[in-house]
Structure 1
Amino acid sequence: MRRIIPIVILLFIGFVYTFPFFQAGFFETHDGEWAIIRLAEMQRELRDFQIPARWSDYLNHGYGYPLFQFTYPLPFYLGALISLSNIGLTTTIKILFVASVFLSGVGMYFLGRKISSSFGGLLGTLFYIASPFRLTDLYVRGSLGESLSFAIFPWLFYVSYRYIERPDRKTFILGALLLGSLILTHNVSALLVFPFWIGFLYVVTLSLRKNKMMYTLKYFLPLIFLGVSVSAFFILPVLFEKKFVLLSQIPIADTARHFVAFADFLNSARGYNGIPSFQLGLAHLVAVSLLFISLFFTSWTKVKKYRIFVLYGLFSIAVMIFFSNSFSYFLWKYPPLSWVDFPWRFLTPLTFMISFLTIFLPIRTFTKILGTFLIVLAIFMTLPYVSVQNRINREDSYYQTNDATTTSADELMPIWVRQKPEKRYDEKVEVETGFATLSNTFFNSKQISFLVESQEQSVIKVNIIYFPGWEFTLNGVPVLPTLGNGDGLMRLTIPAGITKVDGVLGNTFIRMVSNFISLVGLGVIFFMAVSIFFIKKNHEKH
């Protein structure tokens, strides 16, 4: 019964905080509908067997856009898998948002129960679900990637603790998959939480192991390497081919305007029409302050093993607050911080770390009592956040035929495009100069082919923005497309006669290498999983 009660509470609270998702239709947020459009694009690309998905042919008025080359893809791979049951685009995205809440709650419960106690796990879960910034992500920002990263954080920390406690192949595989999944789910959140996760690994090792250096070299480095390898197909092109898009030249926002003032942590507007709310929650901050004070006024002799975790959590929170505040402005000019668009992104790992600390409230009687009062207060204070601005009800066709880029400033536009497309073309291929007839045109997100009957040398304009990897042949002979007029579109010079034109979006060298690394990583995981299965079978026989 004692095990069932926390689960029942979690299910009930989870349902209360996700209730708007169970109602018909969707609702307006900053990015929520973009997620639906991106899912429609992912479906298109997977139907075309463009694996991994990189180039979105339909977006940008049909001229193409390297969306999943630079935008976290895992939520949309999962969405494409879920949507195979024909439940619709909007419903699929809603399922992912709801799952992010329940999975994060269960993960925090297991983490808290492992390190502290069952009640500590329950407190951490409730504080986590009732975090104001989490609710801002759900109902104001509509950030699918960040919402799902909230779900991965506690599981990554929990499995890491288990791995240090008792290293085996199973936890090694799970740890690597969780790290890789976090990078693929929201690479910015992964970047920001990574040093604090490394700190957590060190703290756990410090408390459980004697030979810390050998343990790090033998167990941690292979796990990190394998986790990064799984995500290499995405993260390496992001790093090495970012130079091809506007994001490498023009920042999305002025960093100086997106720091969080200390007062905003306690009270800031919900921000439906602009900058989101940065509230961390009064009850949450009081809980953290309570733990901080208890370090000085409480004897920790009987709970010595928890002290290092509380100190780690408090230090991490202080560092995250520093980097989200303008005091750290001088550091944001340098990598890796310069890779992050907004300093307030630190609120994502900060929200997790605050909730993580609350799992230690029950270790003393007075903090346990006050912690119980504070979580009740937190729930009552954040329930008003479970509301939506405007309800919308659109058919899937609306999202499947959207011509936008799904990025705020078209920052993934190739740098050679000086004149952005403003409307959809009439034909996918056109005769720009000369006399020619075009026929048998076929195209999808990764290839195009057509037949040209030309009376003289002609120039054919292909209404696809060039991106490295596009390769063309004329009657089987490789040719290089040319660009012109600042529109970034590809053009082919065709000789007189009948010419069969074939174009394919291939891989650059870095994409081939990154794909290979990911395949090797997944292969290692597969063979390790198979070995675990057969070892278990052999043990059962004997």
Structure 2
Amino acid sequence: MLKKIVKTKNFWPVVVITILALLASRRLFVPGYFIMHDDLQMMRTLEMEKCFKDFQIPCRWVPDMGYGFGFPLFNFYPPLPYLFAMVFRLLAFPFTATVKLTFASAFLLSGVAMYFFARKFFLPAGRQAANIGGVVAGIFYIWAPYHAVDIYVRGAMNEAWAFVFFPLILLFSYQLITSHKNLILLSLSWVGLLLAHNLMVLIFTPVFALWCLLWIVKSKKILSIKYLVLSGILTFGLAAFFTLPVLVESKLVYVNLLTQGYYDFAGHFATLRQLFISRFWGDGPSTFGIGDGMAFPIGHIHWIAVAVSGLVFVYFWWKRKKLEVADFVFVFFMAVGLFSAFMAHGRSTPIWLAIPVLKYVQFPWRFLTLASLGFSFAAGWLICKLEKFKKQPLWLVIIMVIAVVVWNWEFFAPVREGPVTDTEKFAGEAWRIQQAAGIYDYLPNTAKIAPDSKRTVLAEIIEGKGIIYFENHPERTNWLTFDADIKEGGAVVRINVLAFPDWKVLIDGNQVPTYIDEVEEWGRLYVDIPEGKHFVYARLYNTPIRNIANGISLVTWLGFLSFPLVKKFRRQ
């Protein structure tokens, strides 16, 4: 069995990519933790695990964030990396290691995905050339400096995972258009991107549309559009549980704050020096103007490879006046890479102003994800092209790989790290900071302002007299209970969770109205409880759109998973 695996055509290329991915993620395998911009990765992983334990599936409400008042994080924030992280939690890894292993997995899977994508187009040059070119493309993709920015500086887990799905979507859409294969794999790849990063979907979709148009026109297979539509329908069904609530219920939170103030795109363009020349590296913030504390490099080795590959392309075009399939793809990705670099620069401001939806991208330098994609493919194309024309000595491949690794080596490590444990991260001031962080990201608009202090009690009497008992009453991710012994005249009780559709309160099994007091600034739930002893149960129920979305996804996933069994049964 092992011998058969070793002899497979992709075994050794994947081994090489794995080794280079492990080198890029080497600092993720040491004990401790590191400082990152988005220091909520452990918190989100913890909240996802709590949802699983409570069977809140899909997870929508997280109880510990928002200073402990909770908010609908995973109703809007893509859950895929944290779902993947549950694999490591099931294997009993601590949260510190789980987060780092999830980052490392993104490194590895992105490189493997790029290898298979690039190899597909390099195959006409021969298997050896295709394998070598694919490996180089995969390594350049892993070692793109912006990849290091995403993981070691920003701690942008979701954006790092988007790197995985770009090549897969392009590969499977090409195969679907040209040979009507891999419809399901294309759908699953799109589901992966949708559940990984909303904003990457926004900037990648035009590239995908142009890519599909290119191959529909070139292959003259207009009917392949129907397969793309079918794939889109399947994608929608599989991801509906997340995408539908995002589209319909975004108006329920302060989503407009995500494009204002610090998040105004106009203040975050990169300069030409930052993109092409500077070797500066730091873990400070992106700031208005040129005093950024972080870097936005395309990478010296990357753009040198692009420049050389451009000259090689012109040379062979001048000699042969003929483009092969890989050459078409090279030109396409050169255009994607250069345009993406342009979109990260201030000269692209008219485009940003002309397309209002782009403001949700927040940081123009996010387009460096696509620049990394395009220029990494170009590096692989260069090797493949020279191999085909017998002008590529092995030493050139070795030099390119060593150069991209050595030149970018110092970027692929945390700027600051230390011996932090789960216990330390989930206690004291560190816990308070995580509870408060990102509080305005998905704050329900029932709140006038965000809470500014930690929740101290689950519920409290605001008017009237009585006692509230919490002993032996569990509080879960999306529901809570308590006993209330209310004196004569009744009482107004404030339940310290942020009001959001569809929180409902039941007293002794009967639903009662909830409201937000006119003097309430944080948007917490209020309920009138009559005199006597009562059992109070509050729960976040699904809204109609969430029920519809869950139903669509449930039916689609059941059909998707049962289809192979039904097909096999019919054959028998």
Structures share fold, TM-score greater than 0.5: yes
Secondary structure at the counterpart of residue 442 of structure 1: coil
Secondary structure at the counterpart of residue 224 of structure 1: helix
- Structure 1 residue 505: deviation in Å? 0.4
Matched, 1:498 2:533: yes
Q: Pick the aligned partner of 1:194 from 205, 209, 226.
A: 205
- Structure 1 residue 303: deviation in Å? 5.1
2:17 touches 2:138 (CA, 8 Å); kept in 1? yes
Q: Pick the aligned partner of 1:355 from 367, 372, 376.
A: 376
- Which residue of the partner structure matches residue 214 of structure 1? 223
Distance in 2, Cα, partners of 1:373 & 1:459: 73
Which digits, 9 at most, give the CA deviation of each residue in 1:101-121, with x for residues without a partner?
Answer: 111121111112211111210
RMSD: 2.4
Distance in 1, Cα, partners of 2:425 & 2:567: 43
1:290 touches 1:367 (CA, 8 Å); kept in 2? no
- Which residue of the partner structure matches residue 438 of structure 1? 468
Which digits, 9 at most, give the CA deviation of each residue in 1:188-239, with x for residues without a partner?
Answer: 11221122123223333444x333x2111x2111112211332222222222
- Which residue of the partner structure matches residue 4 of structure 2? none
Q: Pick the aligned partner of 1:16 from 14, 23, 28.
A: 23
Matched, 1:280 2:298: yes
Matched, 1:120 2:130: no
Secondary structure at the counterpart of residue 277 of structure 2: coil
Distance in 2, Cα, partners of 1:155 & 1:182: 10
- Structure 1 residue 470: deviation in Å? 0.3
Provide closer, same or farther for how the CA distance between residues 389 and 314 of structure 1 changes in structure 2, counting only shifts above 3 A.
closer
1:320 touches 1:350 (CA, 8 Å); kept in 2? yes
Provide closer, same or farther for how the CA distance between residues 172 and 96 of structure 1 changes in structure 2, counting only shifts above 3 A.
same
Distance in 2, Cα, partners of 1:337 & 1:529: 40
Distance in 1, Cα, partners of 2:391 & 2:154: 34
- Structure 1 residue 532: deviation in Å? 5.2
Distance in 1, Cα, partners of 2:18 & 2:360: 38
- Structure 1 residue 445: deviation in Å? 1.4
Matched, 1:488 2:537: no
Matched, 1:479 2:487: no
Secondary structure at the counterpart of residue 64 of structure 2: coil
Q: Pick the aligned partner of 1:229 from 237, 243, 262.
A: 237
Q: Pick the aligned partner of 2:360 from 318, 324, 339.
A: 339
What amino acid does structure 1 have at the position aligned with 2:253? Answer: V
Q: Pick the aligned partner of 2:190 from 156, 172, 179.
A: 179
Distance in 1, Cα, partners of 2:240 & 2:282: 35
**1:260-339 alignment to 2 at 5 Å?**
260-268=270-278, 269-275=280-286, 276-298=294-316, 299-301=319-321, 304-333=324-353, 334-339=355-360
What amino acid does structure 2 have at the position aligned with 1:236? Answer: L
**1:398-477 alignment to 2 at 5 Å?**
398-401=424-427, 402-403=431-432, 404-405=434-435, 407-408=437-438, 410-440=440-470, 441-455=473-487, 456-477=489-510
1:64 touches 1:464 (CA, 8 Å); kept in 2? yes
Distance in 1, Cα, partners of 2:425 & 2:60: 19
Bigger shift: 286-295 or 452-461? Answer: 286-295
**1:104-115 alignment to 2 at 5 Å?**
104-115=110-121
Distance in 2, Cα, partners of 1:408 & 1:255: 18
Secondary structure at the counterpart of residue 231 of structure 1: helix
- Structure 1 residue 134: deviation in Å? 0.7
Distance in 1, Cα, partners of 2:54 & 2:252: 24
1:176 touches 1:227 (CA, 8 Å); kept in 2? yes
- Structure 1 residue 488: deviation in Å? 0.9
1:36 touches 1:89 (CA, 8 Å); kept in 2? yes
Which digits, 9 at most, give the CA deviation of each residue in 1:249-290, with x for residues without a partner?
Answer: 452512111112222211343230112311111221122223
- Structure 1 residue 176: deviation in Å? 0.6
Which digits, 9 at most, give the CA deviation of each residue in 1:419-442, with x for residues without a partner?
Answer: 433333332111111011222543
- Structure 1 residue 481: deviation in Å? 1.2
Distance in 2, Cα, partners of 1:339 & 1:143: 16
Matched, 1:64 2:70: yes
2:485 touches 2:532 (CA, 8 Å); kept in 1? yes
What amino acid does structure 1 have at the position aligned with 2:499? Answer: Y
What amino acid does structure 1 have at the position aligned with 2:297? Answer: Q
What amino acid does structure 1 have at the position aligned with 2:75? Answer: Q
Distance in 2, Cα, partners of 1:261 & 1:521: 46
- Which residue of the partner structure matches residue 380 of structure 1? 406
2:66 touches 2:437 (CA, 8 Å); kept in 1? no
1:203 touches 1:312 (CA, 8 Å); kept in 2? no
Distance in 1, Cα, partners of 2:22 & 2:531: 67
Which digits, 9 at most, give the CA deviation of each residue in 1:509-540, with x for residues without a partner?
Answer: 221222222223323322333345557x75xx
Distance in 1, Cα, partners of 2:369 & 2:400: 21
- Which residue of the partner structure matches residue 559 of structure 2? 524
- Which residue of the partner structure matches residue 418 of structure 2? 392
Secondary structure at the counterpart of residue 499 of structure 1: strand
**1:43-122 alignment to 2 at 5 Å?**
43-116=49-122, 117-122=130-135
Q: How many residues align?
A: 531
Bigger shift: 187-196 or 472-481? Answer: 472-481
Secondary structure at the counterpart of residue 149 of structure 2: helix
Which digits, 9 at most, give the CA deviation of each residue in 1:326-365, with x for residues without a partner?
Answer: 2232333444312222111111122112112223212244
Distance in 2, Cα, partners of 1:288 & 1:523: 46
- Structure 1 residue 53: deviation in Å? 0.6
Which digits, 9 at most, give the CA deviation of each residue in 1:371-396, with x for residues without a partner?
Answer: 76444322221112122222222222
2:446 touches 2:500 (CA, 8 Å); kept in 1? no
Secondary structure at the counterpart of residue 415 of structure 1: coil
Distance in 2, Cα, partners of 1:462 & 1:387: 45
- Which residue of the partner structure matches residue 265 of structure 2? 255
Distance in 1, Cα, partners of 2:418 & 2:448: 35
- Which residue of the partner structure matches residue 33 of structure 2? 26
What amino acid does structure 2 have at the position aligned with 1:397? Answer: T
1:284 touches 1:354 (CA, 8 Å); kept in 2? yes
2:62 touches 2:74 (CA, 8 Å); kept in 1? yes
2:111 touches 2:141 (CA, 8 Å); kept in 1? yes
